[in-house]
Amino acid sequence: MEQRKITYTFLILIFSFAAKAQPEKQQFVHSGILRTTLTISPATSGSIYLQGNVEYYLHPSLSVRGDGFYGVKYGQDFLTQNHSIFSGASYHFTTKGNFDPYFFFQPGVAITQKEFQSCINVYPTSPECVDSKIITNPLTSIGSGFNYYFQKWAHLFGELRYVYGKHIPSTPPAISLSELRFSFGLGFNFNFKK
Amino acid sequence: MKKLSLLLMLVSSALIAQEPQKDYEGGKLQLGVRTVLSAFSDDGYKGFGVGGQFRIKFANRLNTEWFADYITTDIGGMAKRTDYHIGWSVQFYPFNYGYKAKKMIPFIDAGHCFDYTEVMKTDGSNFKLNRWSSAVQSGLGTMFCLTDNVDLTVSAKYMLHIGKDIAAEIFKGPNDDNQILIEKTNASLEGHLLIAFSVNVLIADLWSKEK
């Protein structure tokens, strides 16, 4: 239910920006733009991440990007660490003006750890305990968002990302890493091509 | 089988013969990342993973893909299977072949890979078995070029492992609780379907001569 609410709010936001986009202007986005952001990204699981992103436009419609999420609060039960990195590409829709809507696909990996030592009862001896290890888990993500280049060096952005993955530790239970992550904020952009 | 191979050879040679003499696609180097799904394995559980690849094109209709995958599978909440693949494939494009925006490029794919598998009980006992093996894979796929230098690719390959396998079987114990048996089996032809979704970026033109 919460995920739906966030999705609808986000879509309304995108459409209102799209409606405001001025059709008479030329498209701002061009190849050679490097954009970078640092923001706080809350997720539907209750987790909060510090998100960093670097993206380079190879073409007005295409960019390659890398994202990193450093977990600062964990919504999933039993997790003490959940950080992730992603790399992939974004497809940008052609618009006139400074509005830049896009969707993206980014596989990635999560570095996760469970919260406590896990013990098993080995009858008749005392329980054997093992430390929870830091493990890497494959992830994939898709999402969409927008940039609004309101200034030569800066832009506003908003993004919604669905992440799919699972933490499979050496002791049960496996923990789902699937969630919706939302991010919004200001970013910097630089031109590497005239 | 012989007839089919002969037919494929004939079709391939006919298609190659139709090609313009000037080879302008060879030398294109792509780099990509991918999400992989492993299905229809012998233990019946689906794996999910991440990987990457680069492609070097040798001719208009002939590409090579060099890949690595990291796949994990939750075996009924009782064990974890981890697979690492490193391998290569040859892709043959029977229809379209040039990287052009909005173009679909279907392909036939065949190749080989080395793989390392580890199956670990997830009951805290740290019991695990592992093995190295080799596999051959073949399948179909298609690229969809978003622009002249970026494509989305989906492919499905059947990967047949050659060598010993690690089997994990869940069964009911004496108290009607689930138990798992993990063991190395004798050399067998064990396989699974590998479905990959990838995004690939053309990063260099190593030796091609563009028209």
Most distant CA pair in chain A: distance in Å?
80
Q: Which of B138, B147, B67 is nearest to B107 (CA)?
A: B138
The pLDDT value recorded for residue A64 is: 94
Average pLDDT rounded to a whole number, residues A24-50: 90
For CA atoms A74, A76, A81, A83, give the dihedral sign.
negative
Better-scored residue on pLDDT, B163 or A164: A164
Mutation to test the A interface, candidates B150, B175, B194, most A Cβ within 10 Å: B150
The pLDDT value recorded for residue A54 is: 97
Cα angle at B16 between B12 and B18, to 5 degrees? 120
Which 112-141 residues of chain B touch chain A by CB within 8 A? 120, 122-126
Count of structural domains within chain A: 1
Tell me the β-bridge partners of B26: none
Task: Examine the pLDDT at A4 and tell me if it is beyond 60.
Answer: yes
Cβ contact (<8 Å) for A89 and B197?
no
Residues of A in contact with B123 (CB under 8 A): 120, 171-172
Average pLDDT rounded to a whole number, residues B148-175: 87
A62 touches chain B (CB under 8 A): yes
- Per-residue pLDDT band for B197 (boundaries 50, 70, 90) equals very high
Better-scored residue on pLDDT, A25 or B108: B108
Better-scored residue on pLDDT, A122 or A36: A36
A85 touches chain B (CB under 8 A): no
The pLDDT value recorded for residue A2 is: 62
Question: Would you say A75 and A47 are in contact if contact means Cβ atoms under 8 Å apart?
Answer: yes
Better-scored residue on pLDDT, B44 or B46: B46
The pLDDT value recorded for residue A3 is: 64
Task: Examine the pLDDT at B1 and tell me if it is beyond 60.
Answer: no
Q: Using CB atoms within 10 Å of the CB of residue B62, give its burial: 0 to 12 exposed, 13 to 18 middle, 19+ buried.
A: middle
- Per-residue pLDDT band for A173 (boundaries 50, 70, 90) equals confident
The pLDDT value recorded for residue B14 is: 55
The pLDDT value recorded for residue B4 is: 58
Question: A43: which DSSP letter?
Answer: B
Fill in the amino acid letter for B104. Answer: M
Comparing CB atoms, the residue among B35, B122, B152 nearest residue A170 is B122
Give the structural domain span for A115. Answer: 2-191
Fill in the amino acid letter for B211. Answer: K
The pLDDT value recorded for residue B34 is: 96
| CATH assignment at residue A60 | 2.40.160.20
Q: Which of A86, A100, A94, A101 is nearest to A162 (CA)?
A: A86
Q: How many Å apart are CA B54 and CA B202, to the nearest integer? A: 9
The pLDDT value recorded for residue B18 is: 54
> Residue B80 corresponds to which tokens in the numbers above?
């974890």
pLDDT single digits (tens) B52-77 = 999 999 988 999 999 999 999 999 88
Cβ contact (<8 Å) for B48 and A120?
no
- Per-residue pLDDT band for A55 (boundaries 50, 70, 90) equals very high
Average pLDDT rounded to a whole number, residues A140-149: 95
Average pLDDT rounded to a whole number, residues A135-155: 94
- Per-residue pLDDT band for A51 (boundaries 50, 70, 90) equals very high
The pLDDT value recorded for residue B130 is: 92
- Per-residue pLDDT band for A124 (boundaries 50, 70, 90) equals low
The pLDDT value recorded for residue A176 is: 92
CB atoms within 10 A of CB A165: 24
Better-scored residue on pLDDT, B89 or A132: B89
**What mean pLDDT, rounded, does chain B reach?**
86
Domains of chain B in start order, with CATH, are: 2-12+29-202 (2.40.160.20)
Q: How many Å apart are CA B143 and CA B151, to the nearest integer? A: 6
Average pLDDT rounded to a whole number, residues A74-98: 90
- Per-residue pLDDT band for B161 (boundaries 50, 70, 90) equals confident
The pLDDT value recorded for residue B163 is: 80
The pLDDT value recorded for residue B124 is: 76
% residues pLDDT > 70 (chain B):
86
Question: Would you say A57 and A28 are in contact if contact means Cβ atoms under 8 Å apart?
Answer: no
A108 touches chain B (CB under 8 A): yes
Task: Examine the pLDDT at B20 and tell me if it is beyond 80.
Answer: no
